[in-house]
C-alpha cells in the first residue's frame, strides 16, 4: 500500500503543477539507438541494444514531461577470462534504460528518463522485445537567474511492460523522486542530478532487486546556440544483489543542425564492475 501511495504521489506531483503558459504546448519526438557491452565481473560478456521512441512535452519553462518507449535486444556469450565475483556465473543483471538520448526531458544535461529497469540474462542466451516504458518529469522551482541557480524536483515511474518470462524486466512498477541543480556561467554550465528509485521487484528473489541511488555530476559547454557538449560522472548504489555499484564517465553532444531538428550523441566508459565496459548512443529529435 505504501508503494502504491508513493507512485500516486509522483503522478500527482507531475500533473498538478500550477501555472501553464497561455501559448501552445511544445512537443518533440525522438528515435534512437543505444548500445552497451560489459562482463560485469562475470565469466561472460553481455550486450544490450535499445531502440527508444521518446515523447517530450514542455508546456512552459518550468515543467517538462517525457515518455520513453524502448525496444530491447539482449545477448550474452562466454568470455575467455573466467572472472569471479559474488554474482552467480550463470546469470547477470543488466540495466536496460540508462540512456542519455532523451532530448529536453527531465534529466537536463545528464540523467535522463530511462535509468533503472533491470533484467536477468543467462550466459549464451538472446532475447528481444518491448522494454519497460518509463515516465519522467521535472518542475523547476527556481529558474536560472542572475543571482540564483536552476533548481528542480523530478519524478520517475517505470511501467512493467517488458516480458518478465523473457528476462526483459522484473514485472513490477518502479518509482522514485529526485532533485537537479544547474547554473549557467557564460558558456559553461555545471550541473548535478540525483534520484532514489524504489524497485517493485525487490521481493523477487530471482532478481535480487534493491532500492538504489543514482546521481550525475558534470560540466557542460555551449560552443554556439545550437551546439553543446557535456562531460559528467554517473555514480550510485547497487541495484541488484551481487552487482557492484555503478561508476562511469559519459560524454554527450547536442547539435541542432536545422530549425526544430536536433541530434544527440553520447559515449560512456565504465569505471566499475557495476557499469558497462563501454557504450554509445545516438538519437534524432523533431520539435513541433
For 164-215, how does the pLDDT look when each residue is reduced to its tens digit (9 = 90+)? Answer: 888 788 888 999 999 999 999 999 999 999 999 999 865 555 667 889 999 9
Each residue's pLDDT tens digit, 69-107: 999 999 887 543 322 222 333 334 444 443 444 333 333
Count of all residues that appear for the chain in the document? 288
| pLDDT at position 119 over 60 | no
The region of weakest confidence among 36-45, 59-68, 139-148, 228-237 is: 36-45
What grid cell was written down for 85? 565475483
CA 132/CA 58 separation, integer angstroms: 23
Q: Given the DSSP bridges, would you call strands 212-224 and 227-236 parallel, antiparallel or unpaired? A: antiparallel
Check if the beta carbon of residue 43 is closer than 8 Å to that of residue 5: no
Measured CA to CA, the distance from residue 248 to residue 88 in angstroms comes to 23
Least confident piece of the model among 44-48, 67-71, 227-231 = 44-48
Does this model's pTM top 0.75? My answer is yes
Side-chain-facing half-sphere of 165: CA atoms under 13 Å: 0
Rounded-to-integer distance, Cα 281 and Cα 283, Å: 7
Lowest mean pLDDT among 68-77, 127-136, 246-255: 68-77
Taking residues 28-56, report their average pLDDT: 93
pLDDT of residue 78: 58
Provide the pLDDT for residue 67.
97
Residue 170, classed as helix, strand or coil, is coil
Average pLDDT over residues 61-66: 94
Domains of the chain listed by start with CATH number = 2-18+28-287 (2.40.160.40)
Using the CB atoms, write b or e for 57-70: b if 16+ within 10 Å: bbbeebbbbbbbbb
Residues 6+ apart with CB under 8 A from 73: 48, 49, 50, 126, 127, 128
Comparing 8-22, 43-57, 59-73, 95-109, the range with the smallest average pLDDT is: 95-109
Interacting residues of 194 by C-beta distance below 8 A, sequence separation 6+: 178, 179, 180, 213, 214, 215, 216
Residues with Cβ within 8 Å of residue 146, at least 6 apart in sequence? none
Amino acid at each position: 500500500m505504501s508503494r502504491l501511495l508513493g507512485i500516486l504521489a509522483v503522478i500527482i506531483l507531475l500533473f498538478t503543477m500550477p501555472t501553464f503558459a497561455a501559448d501552445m504546448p511544445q512537443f518533440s519526438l525522438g528515435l534512437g539507438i543505444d548500445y552497451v557491452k560489459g562482463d560485469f565481473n562475470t565469466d561472460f560478456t553481455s550486450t544490450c541494444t535499445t531502440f527508444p521512441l521518446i515523447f517530450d512535452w514542455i508546456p512552459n519553462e518550468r515543467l517538462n514531461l517525457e515518455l520513453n518507449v524502448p525496444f530491447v535486444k539482449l545477448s550474452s556469450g562466454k568470455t575467455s577470462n573466467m572472472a569471479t565475483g559474488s554474482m552467480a556465473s550463470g546469470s547477470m543483471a543488466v540495466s536496460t534504460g540508462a540512456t542519455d538520448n532523451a532530448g529536453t526531458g527531465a534529466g537536463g544535461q545528464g540523467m535522463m528518463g530511462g535509468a533503472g529497469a533491470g533484467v536477468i540474462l543467462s550466459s549464451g542466451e538472446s532475447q528481444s522485445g518491448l522494454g519497460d516504458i518509463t515516465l519522467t518529469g521535472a518542475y523547476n522551482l527556481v529558474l536560472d537567474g542572475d543571482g540564483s541557480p536552476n533548481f528542480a524536483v523530478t519524478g520517475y515511474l517505470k511501467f512493467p511492460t517488458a516480458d518478465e518470462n523473457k528476462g526483459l524486466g522484473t514485472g513490477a512498477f518502479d518509482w522514485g523522486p529526485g532533485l537537479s541543480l544547474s547554473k549557467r556561467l557564460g558558456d559553461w554550465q555545471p550541473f548535478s542530478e540525483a534520484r532514489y528509485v524504489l524497485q517493485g521487484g525487490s521481493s523477487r528473489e530471482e532478481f535480487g532487486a534493491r532500492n538504489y541511488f543514482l546521481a550525475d555530476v558534470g560540466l557542460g559547454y555551449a560552443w554556439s546556440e545550437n551546439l553543446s557538449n557535456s562531460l559528467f560522472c554517473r555514480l550510485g548504489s547497487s541495484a541488484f544483489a551481487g552487482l557492484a555499484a555503478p561508476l562511469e564517465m559519459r560524454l554527450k553532444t547536442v547539435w541542432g543542425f536545422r530549425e526544430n531538428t536536433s541530434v544527440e550523441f553520447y559515449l560512456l566508459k565504465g569505471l566499475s564492475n557495476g557499469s558497462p565496459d563501454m557504450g554509445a548512443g545516438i538519437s534524432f529529435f523533431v520539435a513541433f
